[in-house]
Amino acid sequence: MTGMGRLIRGGERLALSHYRLEAAQWAEMLSAPGPTLPLVSCWVDERSASVLVLEGDRPLLASTPVEDRRYLAPSSRFPGAEWGERVGYDLYGVEAMEARGNGAPALDEGGWTSTWPLSGQPAPAAGGLRPLAGSHLLRPEQTGLSGPLEFSFEVHRGAIRTVEICAGGAHRGVVSRLLGKTPEEAMPLVSRMTAGGFVAHPLAFARAVAQARGLLPGPGIRDVWMILLEIERMSIHLLDMARTARGVDAQLLATHCDHAREAIARACSEQGVSRRLMDMVTCDGFCDGLEIVPLAQAVHATMQPRLAALEELQRVFAPRLKGFAVLDTRLAARFAVGGVTGRASGRGTDMRRREAGMRLEALRTTGSSQGDARARDGLRLSEIRDSLRLLERILGSIGLDDDEPAPDRTGEGIGVVEGARGDVWYWVRLKDGRIENLHVRDPGVSLIPVLESMLRGYPVSRVPAALGSIGLSPSGIAQ
């Protein structure tokens, strides 16, 4: 147990892995000597500020009350907390004291009808859109992204010097729409949180709800969830490889990736499920009528023969990606960047490895840790091979029991899923069977503070390839 972990556990225990710290304890935690635990997420509302950290591979949640609309900024210790602080100010008007950064808005571009719209005392908006600070504005259609995430760059002699992001156009207020619903009523909206996680997001939510209810899904449900997640992983990896390839004029590789992804979607459709596996996960299992064995067999038979051609094309075009959009190993660790982007930069976190029932012998991928686009694409292909191997292992022993104990029923739960683009986290608090509070952490949030380092020195024209290479999703960042 680390020094920071001991200080967190010195607070009042609210639920499994969740502790409430008074202001003095919170300040002591933020100034604790010794290593800083990796930050997963930070979020703030009118009542409390919270940080979710990892101690080893286990989550640890600390919260502190917001007093007089202020709290000591966790970004004073965790640089990655800055985004959550900015979102908290835009939505609730609570101020992070001693915060890092320039306090630029994360969501409020100046066009909202009220300031701090989710607070108990919203104020009339001042009016007038606030332009982003950069000298070069890149609109959504210029980024290759499917959603309205706005980038502003300071460009010096044709090269990017600084980056600023505003997610106001992508913000849909999803979390506030889920409050007061039962988990079952909320699930359809959670399932549509982002197209990059039609399985990952509802599965993380279902796991959080199960923990809050003191339930443990059986091994049969667990294995079905694993299979669905691996099918989605292959599809999203192919999508991100195609986006990257188009950004470096590797159209042949992009076309092969598109065809392989379409073949997976067609196999799903032919098995009677949605092409992108939407609405497959439910709070207590999976949708009626899902025949998981023939689905897994069909996807495996579709994808396995295509791997050799994809690997050969990736080798041919890999030189174009060498040294491009490098994420430094230290930054990956500091900001807890997950998924392929983190692993390709030497951060070995893969939350699948902590799951009960995981067939660990199937997860063989190591890959390069050079941190560039070539390493990320190579890792994606290796993980597709691992996914096929994992399908084989699960089909060979589906539904075998294990001795994982059920959690205590506390009304709170934390759920995590290693999605295709990284670890997706949900924290849920239930009251009288309904969602009293909720936080969603998409892996895209951890990419925001490292983008400037990755893009610095490149012309703006290379941005779409870089964003494709790291799998950035606007809808995941701004729920």
Is 0.75 topped by the overall pTM?
A: yes
Q: How far apart are CA 58 and CA 53, in angstroms?
A: 8
d(CA 79, CA 88): 16
Rounded Cα gap, residues 413 and 417, in angstroms: 13
Which runs of consecutive H residues, i.e. helices, occur in 62-107? 82-92
**H helices present in 271-335, as ranges:** 292-303, 307-317, 329-334
Q: Over the chain (479 residues), what is each successive 10-residue block's mean pLDDT?
A: 89 95 97 93 96 92 96 95 93 93 77 78 61 50 57 83 76 85 97 93 97 93 97 98 94 98 98 96 95 98 97 96 95 91 92 90 84 96 96 91 76 96 97 96 92 92 89 77
Q: Given this model, what pLDDT does residue 128 score?
A: 46
pLDDT value of position 169: 61
Q: Report the pLDDT value the prediction gives residue 166, as an integer from 0 to 100.
A: 75
Q: What is the pLDDT of residue 92?
A: 93
pLDDT at 390: 96
pLDDT of residue 149: 67
pLDDT in tens, 122-169: 776 655 444 444 455 555 455 555 555 677 788 888 889 888 887 766
Which residues have C-beta within 8 Å of that of residue 46, sequence separation ≥ 6?
66, 69, 92, 94, 118, 119, 120
Cα separation, 83 vs 150, in Å, equals 15
- Rounded-to-integer distance, Cα 40 and Cα 46, Å: 21
pLDDT tens per residue across span 84-103: 999 999 999 999 999 987 77
Q: For the chain, how long is the longest CA-to-CA vector? A: 62
Residue 380 buriedness (CB in 10 A; 0-12 / 13-18 / 19+): buried
Q: What residue ranges define each of the domains in the chain, with the CATH number in brackets?
A: 3-105 (3.30.460.80), 213-429 (1.10.645.10)
